[in-house]
Amino acid sequence: MKNLRVLFALTLGAIMFASMGLSSSVVGAPTQSTFEVVMPWGLDHPRGQIIQSMIENHSTIGSKYTFTYTQVGGGPSDRASLVGRFLAGDYPNLIIVTQDWYTEWAQFGIWHDFSTEINAWSGDQAGWRTDIPAGWWSILDQDKGDGTGTGISALPFYGQSILPYVNLNDLETANVELSDLDTLVGFMEAADKLDDAELTPFAQVGLLQSDIAYMNYMFASTDNFVNSSTDPATVFSWDTANKYGVNGSLSVEGFAAYLKLKGEGWVPETVDTDGGGEVNGIFGAGAASMVLVGPWGTGIFTDAGLGATDFTAIPMPKTSDGVRSTITGGGISFVPTGVQSAALEADAVALAEWLLDDENQMKTVENWLDESWRIPVRQSLKTNAWFTDSAHLERSNFVTHIESQVYAFAWGRQHPQWISTHEDIMMPGYRNALLDVEWNKGYSDDWYTDKAQAALDQMAADIQCFKLGGPCVDVEAPSTGGAPGFELAVTSFTIVLFGVMVLLRRKKRT
């Protein structure tokens, strides 16, 4: 049976690879003098051009090879195309990918192990291991989680995170302090105050868009995704008493808050169809007081006309356990394959290490200006003069993003099924629950909580049934007792009934 699955995977991978067609800037089979880099962008894209210029600027390696750059996107079919190459024994020299890719690919055993290089770091490199946040190591170092383990198949290049950006003028108008936004409870209270001040509190990404990922880490403290256990039952917990499960109390707390934003009308009425681009435009136009966005938001909002002192990025709010909400934290890493000649492998490793130095780390922000900023992964670089330039106060936002990497990695030591589970079960579950909420209707807090609990219970049940092999259970739909229309109807009926009873009693007496 096992051999049959392998044969099926090999056949499927080969078919998909042949049908997909990868875009490469140089055609032809690699030779000893050819060095292939796989990356998410082509050389017609500014980011691809920046990567090319950085790699080929290396003092010795840059002129040693004819570099080819193969563009591979970030979708499941793109992953499949590379898997097809691996199964056929066709490996690039260096792959530039997001961390979830090589977590899934660990099974192939084709990656270089950086543990020897990391243990030998000295001089300017001596502090790099502790300078890279634990969130990164929780992904890169599956053995120890701190950079001292083995089997470290990648080194980080740049980072990114999604954070709340707030309009400071709106906060002042509504008498809201930045410190009020430090907790999720305070965040929701601030939204209420902003609404009272006749402002739109939050530009919310709608769940009809792929940008759904922008919401679920702020409003669902599902630390199970960072669980180091390999037991799926602890990663996708059905136990509602476990506050960190998919349907645990903190997840319910967060998702109920997200539903409330729509139900109270604290978001634009177009919420169901607004994607990331739309909400950024709404905030940039001053039509919403808060929004979730990555470091590129600074460029977008300044281009839209907001001044450097009009807005700021803030840390993620803390949930009731006192921990900052998990969020979308990620970035790009360099992954050399370990199945190539010793000379090529050594140069691939040298490039990955070289791109962690101060100069190249700063190029991740200095080169990607306008609307495409990314951030260094090394924490000490937040004190670089570039970030503290008094002529560019908006650059302080990047420091907030750099610091957020300490708690930003919701992907964490993910279970291998996490990506497909998120796409197949959780995204539709979030979407359906939000679409059931009528904009600006105004529900009770119990209604939001019950709705969130039921939606997350269903997700957990579906994960258990379809991803973990069962058992399959039926989830009971919540009552609508918390809906304002129901409460009003019950109250009105009670008053009428009481009136009728009084009238009948009076008639009986007469």
273-309: per-residue pLDDT in tens?
A: 888 889 999 999 999 999 988 888 888 999 999 998 9
CATH 3.40.190.10 fits 23-71+93-158+330-389, yes or no: yes
Helix (H) or strand (E) segment spanning residue 343 = helix 342-354
Query: Are 337 and 90 spatial neighbours (Cβ–Cβ below 8 Å)?
Result: no
What tokens were used for 51? 């990567």
Q: For residue 408, what pLDDT is reported?
A: 64
In the CATH hierarchy, which fold is given to the domain comprising 163-327+413-479?
A: D-Maltodextrin-Binding Protein; domain 2 (3.40.190)
Give the pLDDT band of residue 236 (cuts 50, 70, 90).
very low
Which residue has better confidence, 16 or 478?
478
DSSP assignment, residue 161? Answer: E
User: Does residue 119 have a pLDDT over 60?
Assistant: yes
Do the domains 163-327+413-479 and 23-71+93-158+330-389 match in fold? Answer: yes
Q: Which pLDDT does position 235 carry in this prediction?
A: 42
Q: What DSSP state is assigned to residue 391?
A: T
Classify residue 62 by its DSSP letter. G
User: Which backbone phi and psi does 352 adopt, to 5 degrees?
Assistant: -60, -40
Predicted pLDDT at 473 = 79
What predicted TM-score, i.e. pTM, was given to this entire model?
0.80
- Which of the two residues, 151 and 175, has the higher pLDDT score? 175
Structure-block tokens of residue 249? 């109390």
Lowest mean pLDDT among 115-129, 214-228, 326-340: 214-228
The domain segmentation of the chain, as residue ranges, is 23-71+93-158+330-389, 163-327+413-479, 481-510
C-alpha to C-alpha distance for 474 and 238, rounded to whole angstroms: 12
Question: For residue 422, what are the CA distances in angstroms to 234, 411, 416, 484?
Answer: 16, 11, 11, 32
pLDDT at 17 over 60: no
The residue ranking higher by pLDDT, 194 or 373, is: 194
435 has pLDDT over 50:
yes
* pLDDT confidence tier of residue 375, bands split at 50, 70 and 90: confident
Handedness of CA 415, 417, 421, 423 (dihedral sign): positive
Tokens of 126: 């001596």
pLDDT score of 173 more than 90: yes
User: Facing residues of 71 across strands?
Assistant: 23, 39
DSSP output for 13-67:
HHHHHHHH--EESS-S---TTEEEEEESS-TTSHHHHHHHHHHTTSTTGGGTSEE
pLDDT value of residue 159: 83
Most confident of 240-254, 387-401, 455-469: 387-401
Prior bond of 46 cis (ω within 30°):
no
